[in-house]
Amino acid sequence: MRFRGFIFAALIAATLNGCATAAQQQAGTIKTTIQAAAAASKECFTVVRPKPEYAALLPHIPAPENNWQPTMAQLADDHYATEEEAKLLAAFHDEIDTCRRPNFEKIANVAPSVGVILTDVVIDADEITLQVIKRQITWGEANHKIQVGNSAAEKKILAAFQELDRELTASHQAELAQRQQALDALAQWAQQQQMINAINRPITTSCTHMGQVTNCTTN
């Protein structure tokens, strides 16, 4: 009984020092995955955008030094894409999409609500790109639409992360409460075992003799 009690004591210690909750582990996975995916997507644009074959598109595409935001000149551009620019834009889109889409899928796997928003952003951006290629809208109109869409998406993504944070916090607190309940139950069990051990302890009697007097004690 004492050995079994020692095992449970070890389990209690392990729980007290314990592993991160499932919510903490999930939060860590989400954070590292999104950081890696965002960095990879940024790297994708950084590598593809300055390629010599896309030089004719650079005046129309927001630059990293401007935090990927269109300049006033780009927003005011009332030119339609030329036939050559339309072909280049199609090729540029396909190359960007090849390295961008897998990163969005990784985010969707760990944070589905955010993944849905990103998917909508991509669909809307693709539609705008198609309109430019078909010369249905100007470069300035395209940049304005993308800017507005990105701004709205950022607010949605922030709200999605806040909701996810609330869910993970609730899950974390619930698991901590369950752990505490388990610890309380184990502590009560250990106390009961000590009482049982005390009752089941063998009774021994020892006696000492001094002349004609005998003194006996019971343990």
Residue 178 lies in a domain: no
Mean pLDDT of the 41-56 span: 92
pLDDT, tens digit, 9 for 90 and up, residues 144-178: 999 999 999 889 988 888 887 777 777 767 666 66
- Domain range spanning residue 145? 2-173
Residue 202 lies in a domain: no
How many angstroms separate the CA atoms of 13 and 183, rounded? 9
How far from chain centre, in Å, is Cα 51? 33
The reported pLDDT for the residue numbered 41 is 86
Could you tell me the pTM of the whole model?
0.66
**First vs last Cα of the chain: how many Å apart?**
20
Q: Which residues pair with 205 in a beta bridge?
A: 218
C-alpha dist (Å) from residue 36 to 43, 102, 148: 10, 12, 26
Residue with tokens 């388990």: 182
Report the number of distinct structural domains present in the chain: 1
Residue 132 has pLDDT above 70, yes or no: yes
How many angstroms separate the CA atoms of 35 and 110, rounded? 12
Residue 205 lies in a domain: no
